[in-house]
């Protein structure tokens, strides 16, 4: 599981297109957060050093333990890791966090309503949730690791069931990013053209996860080999956070309790 392409790595150059976009979420969040912060979805831990210097306490939770993350956390005074399946947020008190951040997680959660309500529960009055998730309008194919993906309106509707205000923003890219996206789309379409019965949408997603992951990793590495300079030259600055539009790769929402 820890090797799946769903857990973006800063060590694999073929992930650079996705990694730089994911890093931007942490950099933007670091400008907003303070006080006691909860992260849901530690991943490979690259966001810890970005966010934790700006807060008094940083608790990060994940379904899996990563030994390298745990070793790194030992060197930091204000960090705590908790292994946990969510929801619920077990052992976390009501009204106890100033911010909750969760990046590229909610699309994996079976009960997203419960997930959002639990985040609302642990936030202090006036506390904020910062969440990112793929924009379904920019998805090239079905991702069977995702239970669902959201439109701009769908994510807003979900968050407004629990939160009083929602700021709708998104992560977009410049022409360099769009060039990679077009090449990626063309490469994926060469693979999916053989799916004449549209099985990617007909079969249970669990049956497709491993084949998808293998093909996804192969495709990223193929793109790296054939477009090495394009992939390696992608920087965080090639992405930007703006008003949410259908051509944003990710939705970047801030919800207020």
**Backbone phi, psi, residue 67, to 5°:** -60, -40
Q: Taking the C-alpha atoms of 152, 157, 163 and 169 in order, what is their torsion angle to the nearest 10 degrees? A: 10
Q: Exposed, middle or buried, 27 (CB in 10 Å: 0-12/13-18/19+)?
A: middle
Residue 57: per-residue pLDDT: 97
Q: Which two tokens stand for residue 202?
A: 């007909």
Model pTM? 0.94
**Which CATH number does the domain 13-256 belong to among 3.40.50.150, 3.40.50.300, 3.30.720.210, 3.30.1490.100?**
3.40.50.150
Pairing of strands 57-62, 36-40: parallel
Beta strands in 15-69 (DSSP E): 36-40, 57-62
Per-residue pLDDT of the chain (257 residues; tens, 9 = 90+): 445 567 777 778 999 999 999 999 999 999 999 999 999 999 989 999 999 998 999 999 999 998 989 999 998 889 999 999 999 999 999 999 999 999 999 999 999 999 999 999 999 999 999 999 999 999 999 999 999 999 999 999 999 999 999 999 999 999 999 999 999 999 999 988 888 888 888 888 888 888 888 888 888 999 999 999 999 999 999 999 999 999 999 999 999 99
Kindly list the strands in the beta sheet with 250-256, ordered across the sheet, starting from the edge strand earlier in the chain: 79-83, 57-62, 36-40, 97-103, 123-134, 250-256, 165-173, 239-243
Q: Taking the C-alpha atoms of 28, 31, 35 and 37 in order, what is their torsion angle to the nearest 10 degrees? A: 10
Q: Which stretch of DSSP H or E encloses residue 214?
A: helix 205-226
Q: Please, are residues 29 and 53 in contact by the beta-carbon 8 Å criterion?
A: no
Pairing of strands 250-256, 165-173: antiparallel
b/e 174-192 (16+ beta carbons within 10 angstroms → b): eeebeebbebbeebbeeee
Residue 213: per-residue pLDDT: 87
Residue 1: per-residue pLDDT: 42
Helix H, strand E, coil C: the string for 62-125 is ECCCCHHHHHHHCCCCCEEEEECCCCCCCCCCCCCEEEEEEECCHHHCCCHHHHHHHHHHHEEE
Q: Please, are residues 79 and 58 in contact by the beta-carbon 8 Å criterion?
A: yes
Residue 125: per-residue pLDDT: 98
User: How far from 193 is each of 141, 185, 203, 207, CA to CA, in Å?
Assistant: 11, 12, 17, 19
Q: How crowded is residue 204: how many other Cβ atoms within 10 Å of its Cβ?
A: 8
Residue with tokens 């810890």: 48
């Amino acid at each position: 599981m820890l090797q799946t392409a769903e857990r973006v790595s800063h060590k694999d150059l073929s992930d650079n297109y996705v990694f730089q976009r994911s890093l931007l979420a942490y950099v933007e969040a670091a400008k907003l957060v303070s006080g006691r912060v909860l992260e849901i979805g530690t991943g490979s831990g690259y966001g810890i050093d970005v966010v934790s210097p700006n807060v008094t306490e940083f608790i990060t939770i994940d379904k899996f333990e990563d030994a390298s993350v745990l070793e790194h956390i030992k060197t930091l005074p204000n960090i705590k890791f908790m292994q946990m399946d969510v929801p619920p947020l077990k052992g976390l008190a009501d009204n106890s966090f100033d911010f909750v951040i969760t990046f590229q997680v909610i699309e994996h959660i079976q009960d997203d309503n419960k997930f959002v309500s639990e985040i609302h529960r642990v936030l202090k009055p006036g506390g904020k949730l910062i969440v990112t998730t793929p924009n379904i309008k920019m998805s090239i194919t079905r991702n069977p690791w995702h239970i669902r993906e959201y439109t701009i309106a769908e994510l807003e509707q979900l968050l407004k069931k629990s939160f009083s205000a929602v700021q709708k923003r998104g992560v977009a890219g410049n022409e360099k990013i769009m060039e990679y996206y077009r090449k990626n789309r063309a490469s994926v379409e060469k693979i999916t053209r053989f799916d004449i019965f549209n099985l990617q949408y007909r079969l249970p997603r669990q049956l497709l996860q491993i084949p998808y992951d293998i093909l996804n990793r192969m495709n990223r590495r193929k793109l790296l080999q054939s477009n090495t300079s394009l992939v390696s030259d992608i920087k965080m600055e090639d992405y930007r956070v703006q008003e949410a539009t259908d051509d944003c790769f990710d939705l970047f929402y801030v919800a207020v309790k």
